[in-house]
Amino acid sequence: MSLAKPNSFRSGPDERGHFGIFGGRFVAETLMPLILDLEQAYADAKADPAFQAEMNGYLKHYVGRPSPLYFAERLTEHLGGAKIYFKREELNHTGSHKVNNVLGQIMVARRMGKKRIIAETGAGQHGVATATLCARFGLECFVYMGAVDVERQQANVIRMEMLGAKVIPVQSGSRTLKDAMNDALRDWVTNVHNTFYCIGTVAGPHPYPMMVRDFQSVIGIETRAQMQEAEGRLPDSLVACIGGGSNAMGLFHPFLDDPGIEIFGVEAAGHGLTQLHAASIAGGRPGVLHGNRTYLLMDDDGQIQDAHSISAGLDYPGIGPEHSWLHETGRVTYLSATDDEALAAFQLLSRLEGIIPALEPAHAIARVMDLAPKRPRDHLMVVNLSGRGDKDIPQVADILRVKKK
């Protein structure tokens, strides 16, 4: 498909929530009135300086922003090419970028007078962030989590429960993130009168992809200023992992109209692209699920296929609609990394930099390992270190133990 280059890559979506053919509002009628209310409430909040000021206060004092932009000296030396910087989102309160978005949505929910919050979660990072802010603001919190993920991310389940949230294991379908989202939508349809659905990524019906992107854009906005300060100029390339794609969108969006900057999204290739994986752009095509049109993994009959990734946070058969559009317009290059490559990157980073990354950004690091050596030493590359690896330590330890045998 060839598309005319837009004048700006940052002007979407249109008023109906479309990024090119992607996005939209494909939801049951029961939800539509609320989605229109949310769109209005978000527009009002965005225009209200008091909302921005309050959010900035919490971002600084509660989340701990700005997150550092750190020169990864030993990884740079090891790879022998581009100068690599990490945007340290793993240092945020709750351990990932997810909190940026949750803070914004919870503040919108408060403006709308909603007291009951629901969320879906894969790795549990979004669930933990939601549980945390619900505790902070005294809201009821229900987190839908695939039963498979409950099993492999036990630490986060315990954290959510300690924070007062109720974690609901989802037994339907493949029992992972996609099914958690189905059940969250079913809860929302049932309790629409008092419930706010806090979606964790740049997907779902309009205005979610736009709203989540806006809340995550703090990542890229800070990066611009921090790189100016560190190097006196903008970076040459950006790299981030992609499940739904919120950490990537948050880093990328403020740079989309800087034409010289190369941008790479890294999907989860699981066991490999010819086997079970979660790379929607590499292995899928446009379809409609969870409120939006986007690239999806599916069969010839339009039935959604189960995704697989070692990383629960990337284990989703779709991707945010704006990413689909950035792929088709060619502005962003989408690559992928397998389970094994992510594991290797996880270990390398732990030993070289003393940073144990989450398995999600380990996918981004895996591609940095071949992108960086091919670029000159004055090339500035920013990687979004979107989460820390504490939650993954038991799972990785098990896998490495089996591999040793």
Partner 1 sequence: MTTRIDARFAELKKQGRSAFITFLMAGDPDPATSLEIIKALPKAGADIIEIGMPFTDPMADGPAIQAAGLRALKAGMTLKKTLAMVRGFRKGDDATPLVLMGYYNPIYIYGVDKFLVDAKSAGVDGLIIVDLPPEEDTELCLPALQAGLNFIRLATPTTDDKRLPAVLANTSGFVYYVSITGITGSASADSGAVGEAVARIKRHTKLPVCVGFGIRTPDAARAIAENADGAVVGTALVDALRASLDAENRATAKTVDAVADLVSSLAQGVRGAKQAAE
DSSP class per residue in 347-371 = HHHHHHHS--B-HHHHHHHHHHHHH
Give the Cα separation of 109 and 103 in Å (integer): 10
Please answer whether residues 145 and 167 qualify as being in contact, where contact means their C-beta atoms are separated by less than 8 angstroms: yes
Q: What's the one-letter identity of residue 63?
A: V
Under the rule (CB under 8 A), what is the footprint of partner 1? 16, 24-34, 172-173, 178-179, 182, 185-186, 189-193, 287-291, 293, 296, 298, 300-304
| Nearer Cβ to partner 1 (205/254) | 205
Q: Which residue carries 């799972």 as its tokens?
A: 395
| Nearer Cβ to partner 1 (84/296) | 296
| Nearer Cβ to partner 1 (188/264) | 188
Instruction: Report CA Rg, the chain.
Output: 19
DSSP-based three-state secondary structure for 42: helix
Give the Cα separation of 165 and 155 in Å (integer): 14
- Let me know how many helices (H) and strands (E) the chain has, helices first: 16, 14
- Minimum distance from CB of 75 to partner 1 (Å)? 40
| Nearer Cβ to partner 1 (2/303) | 303
Q: Is 120 annotated in the active site?
A: yes
- Minimum distance from CB of 127 to partner 1 (Å)? 19
Q: Are strands 22-26 and 18-19 parallel, antiparallel or unpaired?
A: antiparallel
- Minimum distance from CB of 1 to partner 1 (Å)? 15
Q: What's the one-letter identity of residue 203?
A: A
Q: Is 386 annotated in the active site?
A: yes
Q: Is 77 annotated in the active site?
A: no
CA nearest neighbour of 12 among 200, 257, 358? 257
The two tokens of residue 291 are 């409120």
What are the DSSP E strand ranges found in 231-284? 237-242, 262-270
Strand partners, 144: 120, 168
* 194: CB partners within 8 A, 6+ apart: 114, 115, 116
Is it true that the peptide bond before 66 is cis, omega within 30 degrees of 0? yes
| Nearer Cβ to partner 1 (158/288) | 288
- Minimum distance from CB of 33 to partner 1 (Å)? 5
DSSP-based three-state secondary structure for 270: strand
- Minimum distance from CB of 325 to partner 1 (Å)? 17
DSSP class per residue in 158-178 = HHHHHTTPEEEEE-STTSSHH
| Nearer Cβ to partner 1 (27/117) | 27
Does residue 340 come out as left (phi exceeding 0), alpha (psi in the -120 to 50 range) or beta?
alpha
Catalytic residue from among 90, 120, 222, 360:
120
The two tokens of residue 248 are 């990537």
| Nearer Cβ to partner 1 (179/222) | 179
- Minimum distance from CB of 145 to partner 1 (Å)? 17
- Minimum distance from CB of 236 to partner 1 (Å)? 39
Catalytic residue from among 83, 98, 178, 391:
98
Catalytic residue from among 217, 311, 324, 386:
386
**Which residues are known catalytic residues?**
98, 120, 386
